[in-house]
Amino acid sequence: MTAVVPVRTSAELIGAEEPVLAHNYHPLPVVVARAQGAWVEDVEGRRYLDMLAGYSALNFGHRHPALIEAAHRQLDRLTLTSRAFHNDRLAEFARRLAALTGLDMVLPMNTGAEAVESGIKVARKWAYDVKGVPDGRATIVVAADNFHGRTTTIVSFSTDEVARSGFGPFTPGFRVVPYNDLAALEAAVDETTAAVLIEPVQGEAGVIVPDDGYLAGVRELTRRAGCLFVADEIQSGLGRTGRTLAVEHESVVPDVVLLGKALGGGIVPVSAVVARREVLQVLHPGEHGSTFGGNPLAAAVGTAVVELLETGEFQRRAAELGGILREGLESLVGKGVVGFRSRGLWAGVDVDPALGTGREISERLMREGILVKDTHGSTIRLAPPLTVTAEELQSALHTVEKVLARSA
Ligand SMILES: Cc1ncc(COP(=O)(O)O)c(C=O)c1O
């Protein structure tokens, strides 16, 4: 006999998490049970437009048919080998991902933080083996208000006290300079510098878009200083800003690009360090690795993601829909919005603090069928799947307008 599973309400399911789940998140009170495209449905059958898209892990929407099919096909054949053996999917994934980014070699990993950690290790190794920095002296220059993940080394150079406090001692070897400030960067770089590590658009900080010329300036400065430019494109990359990589807005090719989130198609965690040959070839067997990195399921899904991006369709959609998003937000300035920044289909919106915190605004939007996430203070970010339609986007903007008007 099959047991009858009682249907549980959102409130019951949220309550059930309390005693057994670490409280490292404060989710909105919505319990998602299924999803398709830009829409999710909760356990009571209410539908919501997903305007967060898993922090850009769902750039192609929920359960994109081509990605689901690639995953199913691979599930039926081979899922894991470990890198102790070759598998028949990995080389194609690496070759096509390198070609997509204009770089030469790929180090496959799983999560974003792992890609960042790996990028840091590779940059340090390059500094010792190629640049000739004395052992143990390599430095990496990063930007204030960065977000690169949550490991102990990564929070060592975070400027967010909530992320750091209680987690020391920290990893040395990092210098923090203000973002979008080439003079400060220039002053921080010296003969010990292995790399400059920055986000081309700072996502968690509130979608901070640097001034025109900043990314090209970082490229020029790092080349002149003989250190690596490592671009963390984990959130900004893979179509989100209207280009494959956000650095392309300034026609820049970094030495190292870190990718994650959307690379896994919203199905499995897939990340990668993609770099020039001279950089990634500093790694030798045994020096770095991951049991799951480059597994055949990840490679199959990752290849299907690259295939979608090779068409250029999603980059085009992000650019076009980004125009609608920008126009819509411009019309809300003065009507509850005090300012915003956007690039492609990605915006950080500063709501008048008198109308509520970002969290409160997010809860009100949720009740109207729109899922967003706050960042700091009264800022919310909008990053729908790149598959969202113009009508859905416009309707979401109307809902934002309505909720802000009601909050006044
Ligand atoms: C720019 C950037 N780097 C790294 C990460 C960390 O990725 P993950 O959460 O997969 O470890 C994030 C996550 O938000 C990110 O936005």
- Answer whether residue 6 shows pLDDT above 80: no
User: Average pLDDT in the 265-275 region?
Assistant: 98
Q: Is residue 161 part of a domain?
A: yes
Is 373 one of the annotated active-site residues of the chain?
A: no
By C-alpha distance, which of 206, 190, 188 is closest to 143? Answer: 188
Tokens of 181: 């400030």
**Is residue 208 situated within a structural domain?**
yes
Q: Residue 4 pLDDT > 70, yes or no?
A: no
d(CA 302, ligand 1 centre) in Å? 17
Number of domains forming the structure of the chain: 2
pLDDT the model gives residue 202: 98
Residue 1 pLDDT > 60, yes or no?
A: no
- To test the pocket of ligand 1, the residue of 120, 235, 270 to mutate (highest count of ligand atoms within 8 Å of its CB) is 235
pLDDT > 70 fraction of the chain, expressed in percent and rounded:
99
Which residues, in sequence order, are bridge partners of residue 141?
Answer: 175, 196
Question: Does residue 261 have an active-site annotation?
Answer: yes
Kindly give the distance from the C-alpha atom of residue 204 to the centroid of ligand 1, in angstroms, as a whole number: 9
Same domain, 286 and 340: no
**Is residue 307 domain-shared with residue 317, that is, in the same domain?**
no
Strands (E), 94-148: 105-109, 139-143
Which ligand 1 atom is at minimum distance from the Cα of 202? 1
- In a 3-state reduction of DSSP, which class is residue 80? coil
Over residues 123-133, the pLDDT tens digits come to: 999 999 999 99
Where does a domain end: 311, 331, 357? 311
Predicted local confidence at residue 2, as pLDDT: 60
322 and 286 in a common domain: no
Q: CATH no. for residue 112?
A: 3.40.640.10
Instruction: Check whether residue 142 and residue 99 sit in a common domain.
Output: yes
Number of helices (H) and strands (E) in the chain: give both, helices first: 14, 15
Each residue's pLDDT tens digit, 57-102: 999 999 999 999 999 999 999 999 999 999 999 999 999 999 999 9
Whether a cis peptide bond, with omega within 30° of 0, leads into 353 is no
Asked whether residue 149 is domain-assigned, the answer is yes
The DSSP bridge pattern shows strands 337-342 and 347-351 to be antiparallel
Range of the domain at 127: 65-311
Of 246 and 408, which is predicted with more confidence? 246
Catalytic residue chosen out of the listed positions 147, 157, 174, 292 = 147
Q: Which residue has the tokens 């150079």?
A: 157
121 is catalytic: no
Distance 235 CA to ligand 1 centre (A): 7
How far apart CA 193 and CA 124 sit, in angstroms, is 9
Confidence bin at 285 (pLDDT 50/70/90): very high
Q: Which atom of ligand 1 is nearest to the CA of 260?
A: 10
* 178-221 pLDDT, tens digit each: 999 999 999 999 999 999 999 999 999 999 999 999 999 999 99
User: Considering the chain, what is the average pLDDT of its residues?
Assistant: 97
**Position in ligand 1 atom list of the atom nearest CA 116:** 4
Please report the pLDDT score of residue 377 as a whole number: 87
- Provide mean pLDDT across the span 260-286: 98
Q: What is the pLDDT of residues 319-329, one digit of tens each?
A: 999 999 999 99
> Per the domain annotation, does 137 fall within a domain?
yes
Query: Would you state the pLDDT for residue 322?
Result: 98
The average pLDDT across 32-40 equals 98
Tokens of 96: 């096509």
204 lines ligand 1 (CB under 6 A): yes
Across 381-385, average pLDDT:
97
Q: Model pTM?
A: 0.97
What pLDDT, on the 0 to 100 scale, is given for residue 3? 62
Q: Report yes or no on 99 lying in a domain.
A: yes
Quick one: pLDDT band at residue 376, thresholds 50, 70, 90?
A: confident
211 and 246 together in one domain: yes
| 275 and 291 assigned to the same domain | yes
Q: Is the CB of 249 under 6 A from ligand 1?
A: no
Asked if 371 and 244 sit in the same domain, the reply is: no
Give me the count of residues in the chain. Answer: 408
Assigned domain for 392 exists:
no
User: Which amino acid is present at 91?
Assistant: A
- Is the same domain home to 82 and 209? yes
Q: What mean pLDDT comes out for the span 263-284?
A: 98
Distance CA 292, CA 298 (A): 9
